């Protein structure tokens, strides 16, 4: 639907691309956009056509954060809706079992930065910028930025960004380990789709289970995380058919050989 605040298309089979669609407002997160994004993510959970999800923005921005015009005209702070699950797209991203690729096409500021951090892989164009301006506008984060950013780039770098509100360039974001790849703007969607296609070659159930195993382990100390891996892997191995593993192993080797041939041309 052209009037939708979240556009959904399927660039390849098994991949759903969600595009925040308020380009005139730099995709600022109004209540309506937050609600639509949250419900769209919930609707895609478990769907075969959304085994991998790409999240991006329309126009020149990824997301400028909460809609400050809407906040400024509100009669109370209830417009924030931080305690309303229907208005929390970051929580909805956390519940999605499919891996999510953030294709950051432009500025990702505050709430938009939180959306990107809630994804599993971040690719961005050279037009992207990242900033945490919570302290500058006088509020504290509630969608996890204060904790996710320090775990992604280290506490010292995170403190500098959050306590100054300074912008982070895509090149420094890549150097910090925050983003996986930086590409020219015109190559961004192809880069994200290429990653999605690679993920779609993975056994579907393992793709989701592996994401959960990594994320669950990150919440634990290393000894407990290693014990979790052993427990999950042992349980999973009971349903493995070795003939299928051998067949897939040959497919992997054939794919690697094909890629090597292409790269040498």
Give the domain ranges of the chain: 6-199, 220-264
Residue with tokens 């599993």: 120
**What token pair was written down for 233?**
């892997």
Q: How far is CA 130 from the centre of its chain?
A: 14
User: E strands within 66-128?
Assistant: 100-104, 107-109, 121-125
**What is the per-residue pLDDT for 80?**
65
**What is the per-residue pLDDT for 70?**
80
**What is the per-residue pLDDT for 3?**
75
Of 178, 171, 174, which Cα lies nearest the Cα of 145?
Answer: 178
| Low-confidence residues of the chain: pLDDT under 70 | 1-2, 72-81, 241-265
Phi, psi (deg, nearest 5) at residue 76: -155, 170
In the sheet with 181-183, reading across from the earlier edge strand, the strands are: 6-12, 15-20, 52-57, 100-104, 121-125, 181-183
Superfamily holding 6-199: 2-enoyl-CoA Hydratase; Chain A, domain 1 (3.90.226.10)
| Residues ≥6 apart with Cβ < 8 Å to 108 | 61, 62, 63, 102, 115, 116, 124, 128, 129, 130, 131
80-136 residue pLDDT tens? 667 899 999 999 999 999 999 999 999 999 999 999 999 999 999 999 999 999 999
CA distance 164 to 75: 29
Neighbours of 188 (CB within 10 A): 23
**What is the per-residue pLDDT for 157?**
97
């Amino acid at each position: 639907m052209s009037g939708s605040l979240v556009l959904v298309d399927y660039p390849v089979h098994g991949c759903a691309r969600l595009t925040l669609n308020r380009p005139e407002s730099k995709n600022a997160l109004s209540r309506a956009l937050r609600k639509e994004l949250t419900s769209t993510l919930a609707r895609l959970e478990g769907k075969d056509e959304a085994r991998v999800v790409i999240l991006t923005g329309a126009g020149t921005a990824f997301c400028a954060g909460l809609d400050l015009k809407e906040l400024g005209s509100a009669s109370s702070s209830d417009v924030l809706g931080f305690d309303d699950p229907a208005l929390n797209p970051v929580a909805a991203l956390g519940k999605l079992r499919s891996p999510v690729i953030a294709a950051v096409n432009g500025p990702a500021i505050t709430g938009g930065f939180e959306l990107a951090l809630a994804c599993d892989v971040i690719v961005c164009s050279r037009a992207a910028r990242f900033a945490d301006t919570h302290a500058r506008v006088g509020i504290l984060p509630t969608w996890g930025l204060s904790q996710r950013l320090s775990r992604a780039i280290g506490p010292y770098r995170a403190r500098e960004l959050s306590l100054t509100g300074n912008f982070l360039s895509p090149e420094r974001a890549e150097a910090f380990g925050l983003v996986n790849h930086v590409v020219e703007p015109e190559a961004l969607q192809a880069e994200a789709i290429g990653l999605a296609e690679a993920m779609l070659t993975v056994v579907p159930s393992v793709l989701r289970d592996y994401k959960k195993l990594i994320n669950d382990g990150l919440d634990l100390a290393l000894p407990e995380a290693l014990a979790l891996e052993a427990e999950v892997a042992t349980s999973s191995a009971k349903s493995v058919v070795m003939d299928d593993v051998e067949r897939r192993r040959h497919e992997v080797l054939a794919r690697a050989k094909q890629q090597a041939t292409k790269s040498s041309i």
